[in-house]
Structure 1
Amino acid sequence: MTKFTSDRLLLFGATGDLSRRMLLPSLCALDAEGLLDPSIEIVATARSDMDDQSFRNFARQSLEQFLPANRRGGLATFLNRLSYQALDANEMEGFKALAEKVGKPEEGLSIFLSTAPSLFEPTIHGLQSSGLAGPNVRIGLEKPLGVDLASSRVINDAVASAFPEERIYRIDHYLGKETVQNLLALRFANLMFEPLWNAAHIDHVQITVAETVGLESRVGYYDDSGALRDMVQNHILQLLALVAMEPPVSYDATNVRDEKVKVLRSLRKVNVSETVTGQYRAGAISGGAVPGYDEELGKDSNTETFVAIKAHIDNWRWQGVPFYLRTGKRLPRRTTEIVVQFRNVPHSIFSGRGAKTVPNRLVIGIQPEENITLSLMAKIPGLDREGIGLRSVPLAITMPDAFAGPQRRIAYERLLLDLIEGDQTLFVRRDEVEAQWDWIDAIRAGWDEQALEPKTYTAGSWGPSAAIALAERDGVTWHE
C-alpha cells in the first residue's frame, strides 16, 4: 500500500477524559512545533450536542488545564483546525452527516476510535456505509479491545471487515513513551549489552507498574476488568516482549512485531501457585486516608486490584530465567520500571580480603521519571589496612538531563503522528493481541477453577505479603 500523510483526522470520543487529558493536548503541542501538516483538518465527534464553536471552547478549556502554557504556541490557529459533529453510533443516519463534515480528503483520512466494546461493530458498519472506510483511510483503535480472546476476536473481525491489517493501528500508549522506545536502542545499539542479554548472564527480570490512585472515574470498566486484564494483558506484556525479543532484522513495523509475537507465543502456561491476587482495603497514601476498594465501589467484589505473576519464556535465550510481573492500585508510589538483575561474578578475587560483591543491576525507569541506572561494583576509597571495601555505585542517565532541549512529550504525540503519517512500528498487531489474550485467559481460567479470591492488602503498602513471598522463595527481593 502506498504510504500517505493524512490531511484529515477524525477523533471519536472527543469530549471524553482521554481526549481532554491526552489527545487534544498532544495535537496542540504537535501543531505548536510545526509537526502537523498545515493542511490537516481535525473533525471531532461524540454524543454531546455541540457546534463547532462550543467544541472549540471546550478544547480551549482542556488545553489550558492539561497542557503547559509554553507548549500552546499558536493556540488560535490550532483551535481553528477543529470542527465538531455530534453522533450516536447506534443511529446509522448520523454517519452520513459525519461523512459530510469530514469531506473528501485529498491525501487520506486517519481515524482515532475510542469507544465502548459494544459500539465497535455499529461504528465500523457506520463508517463503511458512509464511505469513511475507503482505501485511503486508516484507523487507530484505543483499548479496551474485548475482555478475553473470544470477545477480542469479535471486535477484530468487525474491524477487519472494513479495514485490512496494514491500515489498522491498535494503540498501547506505553509504546509511545520515550524510555520504552529507548529500550530497543539500549539493547541493539550498544555492543556491551546484547552479548550478556541471556540466561547465562541474567538471573531474573522484574517489571512493575504501580499506581497510587484507586477507581477514580473508571468504576464500571475496572470492576468488570481487574488488574490482570487492565494492565498485564497489554502494557506489561508489551514491556516483557521488548525486553525479551530477539534482534529484529531492521527497525520497521513488520520485523519488530514479528519478534515480539515470538516471545508472546513462548510464554509458558502459568500455574496458579505462581500468581498472587489482591484487593486494597482502607489505608493511607502520601499521608492522606483513602477508602478500600469495596467502599469506593459501594458493594462487595472479587475483582483483583493487584496481581503478581512469576512468568517464564520457553526459548533458548531465556530458559530458566523468571520474569516477575507486578501491578496494582493504591500502592505507595506511582512507578513503571523494568529491573534486569544480572548474575554475580563466578569467582570473586576479593573474597579473601573481606570484600563482598553484589550483582550488577540495570533499572529502566519509564514513569513518572524517565531514567536508566546501571549499578556497578567499585572500591571504597581508603588504605585497605583491614581489608578491601567494595560497594555498588549507580551509573545513572536521566533522560531530560542527557538530552537537554527537547520537550518531555505526551506518549500520544508520537502515536497520533505515526497514525497520521502511516508508521505501524509502535502499534500492536492482531496476532500479538491474540497471543496476549491466550496467555491471560489461561490464568483467569486457573483462578476460576480454584475459586481464587483476592487477598486483602492495606492501601499504601506494596500489596499482599504473598506477593513478597512469591519472589523471596526464590531468593529474590522486589525492587522498591
Structure 2
Amino acid sequence: MSPARVSATHNPLRDPRDKRLPRIAGPSSLVLFGVTGDLARKKLMPAIYDLANRGLLPPGFSLVGFARRDWADQDFGKVVYESVKERSRTPFREDVWRSLSEGFRFVPGTFDDPKAFDLLAETVRELDEQRGTGGNHAFYLSIPPSFFATVCEQLQRSGLSTPTPGSWRRVVIEKPFGHDLTSARELNEIVAEVFPADSVFRIDHYLGKETVQNLLALRFANQMFEPVWNSHYVDHVQITMAEDIGIGGRAGYYDGIGAARDVIQNHLLQLLALTAMEEPVSFDADHLRSEKEKVLSAVRLPRDLAEGTARGQYARGWQGGEEVGGYLEEDGVATRSTTETYAAVKLEIDTRRWAGVPFYLRTGKRLGKRVTEIAVVFKKAPHLPFADTATEELGQNAVVIRVQPDEGVTMRFGAKVPGAQMEVRDVTMDFGYGRAFTESSPEAYERLILDVLLGEPPLFPRHEEVELSWKILDPIEEFWAKQGGRIDQYPSGTWGPSSADALMHRDGREWRLP
C-alpha cells in the first residue's frame, strides 16, 4: 500500500469531522533552524518520517535544514537517516524514505548572514518550481530565544516571511517563551513585527499528547463527569510532572532557569487551564483559547508564598538501584547554584465553579518515577451508613488522567471486600490507550507538526496565554529570589523536599504516590 493511501480506519490522525478521510497536509515544506540540536534529531526528524510513513504528507513535501555546517544536501540526508533509523516509531520503508529524501535540502550559514538567507530564499523558490510546494513554507525555530530577533529580521529582509498570493508562511516557536513577563512580551513584539498572529505557532508538546486531548473528551462527551466537576464535589486537584532523570547535558540551559520556569509556567498551567475551563462554544482555536485564558486570568496565588510554595534541589541518592550524584555535582552547574530542580505551588481559581478548591502543581527531577498525571480528588461522602471499622481503609474517590508514560485514565472508588462482614476498601478501574484501541497514539510532535502544516491552531497557546502564565509565576520567582540561597535538598529517588510535604500537610492533605 502506498503511503498516500493509508487507511483512515487505522489512522489516529484522521480528521475528526470526516472519519472517512485522513488529515493530509497540502503542498508545503518545513524549514528547520537548529538541525544539529537534540530536539531536531530525537523528535522532529523522526516525527516527519513517521508522518510520511502514515501517508499524511504530500508527495512533494520538502525538508530544508539550516545550520552552521559545511554540508551538502546528501550530508544533511545522512543526518536525517541516522535519526530516523534510531528514533522513528513506524517501521522503516525504503520506498517512503526514497520519496521523502528527494525533498531534502541544506543551506549552510549563520543566523546573521544575509547571504545565507538569500540562498535560503532561492532554495525555497526552487522547491516551489521543482517540488510543487506552492509557496507554502513553515519556519521551525528550534533555537535559543536569543536568536529569534535575528532570524525573524533575516526572514523579513529576504522576503521569506511574505507569502505569495494564495499561499502561506508560518513560524513555529519552541519554548521557553521568555524567562519572565517582560521578556515574553519582547519576544512577542519581535515575532509580531514579521508574522501575523494566526501564522505564529507556539509549541507546547504536552498539548499534542493524546491523553491531554482526551481530557476534553472525558469532560465534555460524558454526562457522568461534568455535573461533579466543581467545588461542590471536588476536594482538590493535583497536577504532577515527575522525572526520574537528572539534567543530563542540559546544564547550560537549565542552570538559572529551574523547574518552575521550565515546566510549571507552560506545561502544568496549560494542564490546569484544560482541567478547569468551562465548556467552549466549539473546539475552534478562538473558543478553546478564550476559555483557557479565562481560567488563567482567575488564578490566585497563596497569600503566604512561604507556606504555599516549595522548591528543592536533588542531592546524591539512589535511582533505579544505582547511586547517582546531586545537582551540584553535574557537569556545568555552578558549585553554589540555587536553581531549583523541584518546584511545587498551591493555586486557587476565583470562579463560581472552583472557588475554594486548591490546585496543587508540582514538578521535579530525580523523583521516584517518571509520570505526568492530573488527579481530581473528590470530597468524602457526607454520610457513611457503615461502622467506622468498615471504612478504615477507604480513601477519597479520584479520577486520574495519566498523560505519560502509560496513557490512560484511572478511577478510584470504594467497593465491598468479599466476605461475610461489611468492609469497604479502595479499588481502581483502569483504562489504558494501549489496551483499548488497536491503533497506536501518535507521538506529540507528529500531531503538532501536522497541525502546523494544516494551519489548525487549537493546540497552540497564543501570546495572551503565555503572558497570563508569566503573571502567575513571576511573583513566585521574585519571592524565591528574595530568599537568597535558601533551597531545600532532597535525596535522588525520593518524592521531593520536606517543604513540599509540609505544604500539603498544612491543608490536611498528602501528595499522591503515582
TM-score bracket, normalised by the shorter chain, equals: over 0.9
Which of 109, 112, 118 is residue 96 of structure 1 equivalent to? 118
The answer on 1:177 being equivalent to 2:209 is: yes
Q: d(CA) in 1 for partners of 2:119 and 2:390?
A: 79
Partner SS state of residue 41, structure 2: helix
Structure 2 residue aligned with 1:402: 436
1:362 equivalent in alignment to 2:362: no
Structure-2 separation of matches of 1:342 and 1:126: 53
CA shift for structure 1 position 351: 3.3
The corresponding residue for 1:38 is 59
Alignment partner, residue 7 of structure 2: none
* Mapped pair 1:426 → 2:489: no
> Is contact 1:6-1:421 (8 Å) kept?
no
* Structure 2 counterparts to residues 218-367 of structure 1, below 5 A: 218-270=250-302, 271-273=304-306, 274-296=308-330, 297=333, 299-351=335-387, 354-356=390-392, 357-367=394-404
- State the one-letter code of the partner of 1:244: A
- Distance of 1:407 and 1:81 partners within structure 2: 27
Distance 1:310 1:279 in 2: 19
The separation in 1 between residues aligned to 2:321 and 2:77, in whole angstroms, is 39
* Residue-by-residue CA offset, 1:384-417 (whole Å, 9 max, x unaligned): 3xxx11122211101111111x223211000000
Offset of 1:350 from its aligned partner?
A: 2.3
* 1:425-444 to 2 correspondences below 5 Å: 425-444=458-477
Contact 1:311-1:323 at 8 Å conserved across structures:
yes
Preserved CA contact (<8 Å) 1:42 1:82: yes
Q: Partner residue of 2:224?
A: 192
User: How many residues are matched?
Assistant: 473
Contact in 2 for aligned 1:28/1:72 (Cα 8 Å): no
Q: Does 1:377 align with 2:414?
A: yes
User: In structure 1, how many angstroms separate the alpha carbons of the residues matched to 2:115 and 2:448?
Assistant: 31
Runs of 4+ in 1 over 6 A off after TM superposition: none
Aligned counterparts of 1:298 and 1:450: Cα–Cα separation in 2: 18
Distance 2:429 2:397 in 1: 11
Q: In the aligned structure 2, how far is the partner of 1:443 from the partner of 1:187?
A: 31
Deviation at residue 352 of structure 1 after TM alignment = 7.1
Q: 2:448 is aligned with what amino acid?
A: L
Distance 1:290 1:393, change over 3 A: same
Distance in 2 between residues matched to 1:454 and 1:228, nearest whole Å: 14
The answer as to whether partners of 2:397 and 2:413 remain within 8 angstroms in 1 is yes
Letter in 2 for 1:118: S
C-alpha displacement at 1:153, in angstroms?
A: 1.1
SS at match of 1:397: strand
8 Å CA contact retained: 1:5, 1:107:
no
Which of 117, 122, 132 is equivalent to 2:160? 132
Are the structure 2 counterparts of residues 8 and 195 from structure 1 closer, same or farther at C-alpha, using a change threshold of 3 Å? Answer: same
| Structure 1 residue 27, shift from structure 2 partner | 0.6
Find the aligned partners of 1:445 and 1:364 in 2 and give their Cα distance: 32
Gaps in structure 2 of 5+ consecutive residues: 1-24
2:141 corresponds in structure 1 to 113
Which residue, out of 142, 161, 165, partners 2:174?
142
Q: TM-score, normalised by structure 2?
A: 0.89
Of 243-252 and 348-357, more deviation after overlay is shown by 348-357
Identity of aligned residues (%): 45
Q: Distance in 2 between matches of 1:45 and 1:229?
A: 28
1:61 corresponds to 2:54 = no
Residues 316 and 94 of structure 1: CA distance in aligned 2, closer, same or farther (over 3 Å):
same
| CA distance, structure 2, for counterparts of residue 426 and residue 69 of structure 1 | 24
**Preserved CA contact (<8 Å) 1:277 1:453:** no
Alpha-carbon distance change, 69 to 40 in structure 1, aligned in 2, over 3 angstroms? closer
Within the candidate set 77, 80, 84, 2:102 is matched to 80
Q: Which amino acid aligns with 1:75?
A: W
Query: How far, CA to CA, are the matches of 2:272 and 2:444 in structure 1?
Result: 19
Q: Any idea what the Cα deviations from partners look like across 1:3-52, whole Å, max 9, x if unmatched?
A: x9451211111121101110011010010010111122111112222111
CA distance in 2, matches of 1:383, 1:464: 44
The question of 1:477 aligning with 2:510 is answered: yes
* Unmatched segments (≥5 aa) in structure 1: none
- Following superposition, the deviation at residue 69 of structure 1 comes to 5.8
Which residue of the partner structure matches residue 482 of structure 2? 449
SS at the partner of 1:394? strand
RMSD, aligned CA? 1.6
